[in-house]
């Protein structure tokens, strides 16, 4: 990225030499993103990140229909949920939010049953950002394909399939043809790339209305001068992920996570593990510690140099339990004590040992201060 932040400042839309050099670099990055996904380079559109890609896919598909029906799940990231809410509130769309099971899995049969005459789009995430659950997209896309065969015979428009793959690209195998999706959103900063850059995969022939209007950038689908250094960083992240096995299931991460999971369960009582044992991102472990707040644990761990995220969003000082955890059946009072540990390729075994050393006294101290602990 550095040369493109310093001397190579050409605008890729300019015809002069330095402009053409930037254009070449952008197109090279597009090829790298496409290669990682098993896509064609002209099917990749650069955006400012996962949120924009999701908005571009959902609104760009829905708005031309004026009214219609969309199917999604109840555990999507707010990028999807808030976009659906907006389509409901301001554009008159009907949205079905599918339930999930104890592990956060969407039942593919439920998708088939939820499809109506007016359905235009199904959007189901590839992996959940809180629990790491991997959704059965292949089965879902097969069901949508079967429905589309019948719809084409009945002269009905087809149903398109989008996935928010922000949590999987670069960390888990993602091939758009194996998954059978028409659109896929990804974000650079989730797999060692820069922040503020992402992409939308759009299968050739999928109709999409542009949300940003202006110049002719990104084949008229996303106007605005390209973020050249960001795009180059995203391309490199994809190239590195591909060299590391195409976003393969990292065995070392799985081993470290298992050590962390077992260690926590052995050392601390009244703990619930929310990440599923199978079909889960290798580095994501979501755990609830009863009688304490996730935020307090995160702050205590931060003081000791460990960065985790508490699974709940804080609004106006009152921590709301996570919509994902409540959807998988965790009681709201328990969900408040959730912590998400995210292991990455730079984490070492000693760091897991360190967390296992410092966590039990933190939980003990917090529980000793908790009125819920004494009222149990």
Q: So which residues are the catalytic ones?
A: 314
Whichever of 167 and 236 has its CB closer to ligand PLP, that residue is 167
How wide is the angle at C-alpha 87 spanned by C-alphas 147 and 76, nearest 5°?
70
CB of 219 to ligand PLP, least distance (A): 22
CA gap 112, 216 in Å, rounded: 38
* Residue number, nearest CB to ligand PLP: 50
- In this structure, the strands spanning 284-289 and 309-310 are unpaired
By beta-carbon proximity to ligand PLP, the closer residue of 79 and 181 is: 79
- Rg from Cα positions in the chain: 22
Q: Which residues bind ligand PLP (CB under 6 A)?
A: 49-51, 77, 79, 125, 129, 164, 166-167, 187, 198
Lookup result for tokens 């510690």:
289
Cα separation, 58 vs 209, whole angstroms: 10
CB of 129 to ligand PLP, least distance (A): 3
Question: Residue 137 Cβ, how far from ligand PLP at the closest point, in Å?
Answer: 14
Q: How far is 314 from 318, CA to CA, in rounded Å?
A: 6
234 vs 264, beta carbon nearer ligand PLP: 234
**Which CB atom, from 10 or from 230, has the smaller least distance to ligand PLP?**
230
Cα(242)–Cα(193) distance, integer angstroms: 13
Residue 330, Cβ density class (10 Å: 0-12 exposed, 13-18 middle, ≥19 buried): buried
Q: How far is the CB of 146 from ligand PLP (least distance, A)?
A: 27
**Based on CB atoms, which residue is closest to ligand PLP, 167 or 206?**
167
**Shortest gap between Cβ of 166 and ligand PLP (angstroms)?**
4
Instruction: Cite the beta strand spans of the chain per DSSP E.
Output: 44-47, 69-73, 94-98, 119-123, 160-164, 183-187, 198-202, 271-273, 284-289, 309-310, 313-315, 318-320, 338-342
């Amino acid at each position: 990225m550095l040369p493109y932040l310093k001397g190579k400042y050409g605008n890729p839309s300019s015809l002069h030499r330095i402009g053409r050099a930037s254009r070449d670099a952008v197109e090279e990055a597009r090829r790298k993103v496409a290669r990682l996904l098993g896509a064609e380079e002209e099917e990749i559109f650069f955006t400012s990140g996962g949120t924009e890609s999701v908005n571009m896919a959902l609104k760009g598909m829905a708005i031309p229909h004026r009214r219609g029906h969309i199917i999604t799940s109840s555990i999507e990231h707010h990028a999807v949920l808030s976009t659906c809410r907006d389509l409901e509130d301001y554009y008159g769309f009907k949205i079905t939010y599918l339930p999930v099971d104890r592990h956060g899995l969407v039942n593919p049969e439920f998708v088939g049953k939820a499809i109506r005459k007016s359905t235009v789009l199904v959007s189901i995430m590839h992996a959940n950002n809180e629990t790491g659950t991997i959704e059965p997209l292949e089965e879902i896309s097969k069901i949508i394909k079967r429905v589309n065969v019948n719809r084409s015979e009945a002269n009905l428009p087809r149903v398109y399939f989008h996935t928010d793959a922000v949590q999987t690209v670069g960390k888990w195998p993602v091939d758009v043809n194996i998954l059978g999706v028409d659109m896929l959103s990804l974000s650079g900063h989730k797999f060692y790339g820069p922040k503020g850059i992402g992409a939308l995969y759009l299968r050739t022939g999928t109709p999409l209305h542009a949300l940003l209007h202006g110049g002719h950038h990104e084949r008229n689908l996303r106007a605005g001068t390209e973020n050249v250094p960001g795009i180059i960083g995203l391309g490199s992240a994809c190239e590195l992920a591909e060299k590391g096995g195409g976003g393969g299931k990292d065995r070392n991460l799985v081993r470290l996570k298992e050590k962390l999971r077992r260690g926590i369960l052995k050392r601390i009582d009244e703990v619930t593990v929310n990440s599923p044992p199978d079909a889960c991102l290798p580095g994501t472990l979501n755990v609830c510690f009863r009688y304490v707040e996730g935020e307090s644990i995160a702050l205590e761990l931060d003081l000791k140099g460990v960065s985790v995220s508490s699974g709940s969003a804080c609004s106006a000082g009152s921590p709301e339990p996570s919509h994902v955890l409540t959807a998988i059946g965790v009681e709201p009072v328990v969900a408040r004590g959730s912590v998400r540990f995210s292991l990455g390729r730079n984490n070492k075994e000693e760091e897991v040992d360190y967390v296992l050393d410092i966590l039990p006294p933190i939980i003990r101290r917090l529980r000793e201060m908790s009125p819920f602990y004494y009222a149990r």
